[in-house]
Structure 1
């Protein structure tokens, strides 16, 4: 996927404000959606790019689009903390690695996120598990999950065909 496609998949004007924000990208990989997020945040914001593969973090710049990127090695499915509570979180193709989605959402809400926060997700629109998507999060399933997790707004931002042809990808913004 190209950066412009990633930006289109998560593009929303509901994030951009004048004050700098603190976000994280859980399971950031090589940072494609970290970079896409920089196009949505106000200048001087900070993004924590978190991935368990320390080698992929080397490909992510320390600043991009006037946004500071702090790279951290760690497994987001395990318990961890950050220096401050986040205004938002992006999880692109990573929530499907969590077995208990609802418990995970409750955990990050109570330990990582401000009470009023935004959650950007990119997932495959499928209910069928496979080795690459062990715990799928279809859009229909996500709507029910988000409601149970206390989100009041579920806004589908974009879709695109998957390179693998199994299911479309979708981007969604959840807000409390």
Structure 2
């Protein structure tokens, strides 16, 4: 996926709020969705790009109006030093979490109210080495509601190039 495709995929009016805020990208990888999110957030926002493997973030893709800070950490471990977040992005990372209910309850501790959770996932029930604990949309919706998230909405879908069925992006709020 190219950067503009990622921007178009996750775009939502809630991301373009007038006030700057702090977001985290849990499992940021090489930063594709971090840069997409940064392109959509208001000026003076901050993103904490969190991954357990070191990734050199590409300064060429940094939008000049958003501060991106890379944190070398396992996002599944409790007590990351993060401020009250306006939102969390998880693009192709929730499927690595085995105990999703416990994780999602822990995740809420990072969020201030109101806040958003933006999820990009494969809409499949079949696990494989790259998607060990899949979370198709109907399961995600049930999980999020049971953990106190509201307004769970599937924003859009697209075909996956990895033969995993479709990918979807969903947004929920606290």
Bin the TM-score by the shorter chain.
over 0.9
Specify the SS of the correspondent of 2:161: coil
Shift of 1:80: 3.3
Following superposition, the deviation at residue 50 of structure 1 comes to 0.7
Whether the aligned pair in 2 keeps the contact of 1:39 and 1:65 (CA below 8 Å) is no
Alignment size in residue pairs: 173
Q: Please give the secondary structure, in 2, of the residue aligned with 1:79.
A: coil
1:154 and 1:175 in contact (8 A); partners too: yes
Are 2:94 and 1:91 equivalent residues in the alignment?
A: no
Q: 1:83 to 1:90 in 2, by over 3 A?
A: closer
Q: Which residue in 2 is equivalent to 1:22?
A: 22
CA offset digits 1:88-134 (Å, max 9, x no partner): 00000000010011110100102x11132100000000011111011
Q: Distance in 2 between matches of 1:141 and 1:109?
A: 18
- Provide TM-score, normalisation by structure 2: 0.94
Task: Show the counterpart of 1:4.
Answer: 4
Distance 2:64 2:147 in 1: 32
Q: What does the per-residue CA deviation read over 1:59-104, in whole Å, with 9 as the maximum and x for residues that have no partner? A: 3439424100011101111223224111100000000010011110
- Could you tell me the TM-score, scaled by structure 1's length? 0.93
Residue 45 in structure 1 maps to residue 45 in structure 2: yes
- Give the Å deviation of 1:147: 1.0
Do 2:39 and 2:63's aligned partners in 1 also have CA atoms closer than 8 Å?
no
Pairing partner for 2:57 from 56, 59, 78: 59
> What is the alpha-carbon root mean square deviation over aligned residues?
1.4
Runs of 5+ unmatched residues, structure 1: none
1:136 corresponds in structure 2 to 134
Uncovered stretches (5+) of structure 2, i.e. residues with no partner:
none
